[in-house]
Every structure is written in C-alpha cells, then in structure tokens.
Amino acid sequence: MVELQVIEIPYWQFLLWLAIVYISTAFDFLYTRLIFSIAGYKIVNPGNVLDNPSRLSIYTYIKNKPGAYISEIVGNVGLDREHTKYHIKALESQNKIEAYREGGKTRFFENNFAYNEEEMKVISALQNVTNQRIILEILTCKCNTNIALARELRVSKATVSWYIKNLREIGLIIETKKGRNTIYRINHVYEPVVEKHIRHLQDSNN
C-alpha cells in the first residue's frame, strides 16, 4: 500500500493559494466573455434572453399560439429553420418555453406553469381541425358513432376510424359498446380541459 505524505503549510499560504485560484477563475471567465464579445456573440442568460428581436418574436408567437410546432413557427416569424431551432434551444435553456412531444411531433408552450400535462395533450390534439370537429361533436353529444360522425363531417368511415384511433391512443376518447354500435365519449379525466379549450378556440374564431 502506498503511504501518502501529509505536508503542512502555513495558514497565510493557504489563503494566498485560494486567492490565486479565485483570480485565475475570474480572469478565465472575463477572458471568455471578451472573446465572445469580439466575435460578435453574446452569452445568453435569463436577464437578456429576450433582448434578441428574432428570439422575442418566436417567444411571443409561442405565447400567443400555445402548441405551435417548428414548421408553423418558421412560416410565421420570417426566419429559416436553422435559426429558428437555434433560438428555440436558447429559449428552452433559459426555461422560457418547454417542448411537448407526442405523435411524432414536438410542440412548444410558454413555460410559465400555465399548462399542465393534460392541457398540453388537449391543446396539441385540438391543433388539428378534424380532431376539433370530432371532439366537439362528441362533446355536445350530437354525433357519437362512426356513421354519424362520417355523415356530419362528410368524410369516409375509415377516415373517422383513423382519427378516433389516434385520439383513443392518447386517452382523449373512450369507446363503449351498445348493441352493435360503438359509442364514443370524451374521457372524463380530460373533459373539463377539453371544454375549456374548445370554448377558447370558438371565441378566437368568432
């Protein structure tokens, strides 16, 4: 076994060593900031993350359109995809927005604790117009079978089945058997959230 040798140093020497480490760390930090500044870069922090006009535009769009996905943001803020992704990462790193991933798509929400998991799921589903119409018909009990929905939406029964399957897989729709018919209803866990955001969509469209 290797024996370690303990070397005692005076207290003033220990304090001097701490001071040197502190000054060295501070110098490295200031030097890094200087290099970034000369290169035209700015270190992003919570206090300045929205100082960039493009980043502010993206944040404002997401705040006003919760559940927006990247292609939609690109098409509305006037930036290319790579720059949009760069600013989204900066906003995420500073906890200004959060990503919600489901069904192969990533949607973005303002990170102010206004949206819980259930709300993000419902809002994401309601971004699709056909989902909106199906959910609204079932919610109001106007149409709650495949045949009735297909007739009302003027689409095929196969199309209705495809949308219902997706909504069932994420837990928004529940199926029950009544004789030969399959009856659709909104999952009671999500019903208050669905009602809230359906009303919001209707108000914004009027």
3-state secondary structure 144-190: CCHHHHHHHHCCCHHHHHHHHHHHHHCCCEEEEEECCEEEEEECCCC
Instruction: Please give the model's pTM, rounded to 2 decimal places.
Output: 0.70
Show which of 114, 143, 166 is a domain's final residue: 114
For residue 83, what are the domain limits? 53-114
Show which of 94, 114, 134 is a domain's final residue: 114
CA distance 122 to 141: 19
**Are residues 103 and 136 located together in one domain of the fold?**
no
**Are residues 125 and 161 located together in one domain of the fold?**
yes
**Are residues 125 and 180 located together in one domain of the fold?**
yes
The answer to the question of residue 96 being in a domain is: yes
**Are residues 194 and 160 located together in one domain of the fold?**
yes
Show which of 90, 114, 138 is a domain's final residue: 114
The answer to the question of residue 174 being in a domain is: yes
**Are residues 100 and 127 located together in one domain of the fold?**
no
Number of domain units in the chain? 2
Closest CA to 189 of 133, 116, 111, 129: 116
CATH code for position 71: 1.10.10.10
Per-residue pLDDT of the chain (206 residues; tens, 9 = 90+): 555 554 555 666 667 767 777 776 655 555 444 444 444 445 778 778 999 999 999 999 999 999 999 999 999 999 999 999 999 999 999 999 999 988 788 999 999 777 899 999 999 999 899 999 999 999 988 889 999 999 999 999 999 999 999 999 999 999 998 888 899 999 999 999 999 888 877 666 65
CA distance 14 to 205: 70
The answer to the question of residue 198 being in a domain is: yes
The answer to the question of residue 33 being in a domain is: no
